Amino acid sequence: MVRILRSTCVLVVLALFLPAAAVAQISLTAPITGVVSDVTGAVIPGAGITVRNNGTNARFETLTVENGTFIVPALTPGIYTVTVALPGFKQVIVPDVKLDAGTPATVRVTLEVGDVTQSVTVEAANEILQTQTATVSTTVDMRQVLQLPVSRDGLAMVTLLPGINSTGDFRDSRVNGLSREAVNITIDGVNTQEYNKDTDFFSYISPRTDALEEVTVSTAVPGAEASGQGAVHVKIVTRHGDNEFHGGLYEFHRNSALNANSWFNNRDLTPGANGRRREIL
């Protein structure tokens, strides 16, 4: 009887906490979709689609369906190359398709009649206007992060984006004038927002800029991937690595001889040969 009661208690606790943990998980993946047609505008079913991650060389394959469309779901943020091939047509390569956290990417490909061994490289194939989602978001990638003149706190740079106002320290920031209770901060999909959300724009885990891949701030019309956890979402994505070795070297130097003395110390010290002495207390 005691074992049964214990087992029941464990099941009840799991039933209460597992849904909350599931809700706390924010999706960072997004699909790459597209449509394939010929030069006359007629859609082409059965075309082979290969999506390759430029950093990791991970490959994903699919085929276009009857209406010429395709979808490769649940891809992590990064830069991808899309290749379209079909016998009787020239192979088409679409390089540098950028996929941001939770933001779908779309490509449109036109196949030309020719040998499949021939290839055509398409530049700037991404849609300028995002039509796959109504979410209003801004993404800052790793290169921008390293060039911005802010502290090495990954969350501090978010305050430089449009619609975010700071009255002092970045922890006092508000997004679109909303209460801080409306802001949700995640790192790789896991909620790291401070429990008392109405006091600070703050994350319990603040990754250094060296650890960041990108930061996406969604300020309006959050999608289903946001799990209904707030009107504003700060999605921090850490670096996931690739097939090349990278590293960084930093030196932190602090010399007390370079520190300025306080006004009170200067006032109380005995003048030396060159006026007020500098002493570090």
pLDDT tens readout for residues 125-134: 555 566 677 7
Rounded CA separation 125/95 (Å): 8
Rounded CA separation 11/5 (Å): 10
pLDDT, average across residues 188-201 = 74
- Residue spans of the domains in the chain: they are 30-121, 134-281
pTM (predicted TM-score): 0.74
**What's the confidence (pLDDT) of residue 190?**
86
Classify the phi-psi angles of 155: left when phi > 0, otherwise alpha if psi is within -120 to 50, otherwise beta.
alpha
Question: Fold match between 30-121 and 134-281?
Answer: no
**What's the confidence (pLDDT) of residue 129?**
61
Higher pLDDT, 260 or 211: 211
pLDDT, average across residues 89-100 = 93
Q: Put the strands of the sheet holding 232-238 in their side by side order.
A: 136-141, 212-220, 232-238, 183-187, 190-191
pLDDT tier, 24 (very low <50, low <70, confident <90, very high otherwise): very low
Residue-wise over 88-123: b if at least 16 C-beta within 10 A, else e?
ebbbbbbeebebbbbbbbbbebbbeeeeeeeebeee
Name, of 9-23, 145-159, 183-197, the range with top average pLDDT: 183-197
Q: What percent of the chain has pLDDT over 90?
A: 26
- Is the domain 134-281 a CATH 3.40.50.300 member? no
**What's the confidence (pLDDT) of residue 125?**
56
pLDDT, average across residues 268-274 = 60
Please, what CATH class does the domain formed by 30-121 belong to? mainly beta
pLDDT, average across residues 235-257 = 80
* DSSP run (H or E) holding 144: helix 142-147
Contact 236, 207 (CB under 8 A): yes
Whether the pLDDT of residue 80 is over 90: the answer is: yes
**What's the confidence (pLDDT) of residue 14?**
46
What's the length of the chain? 281
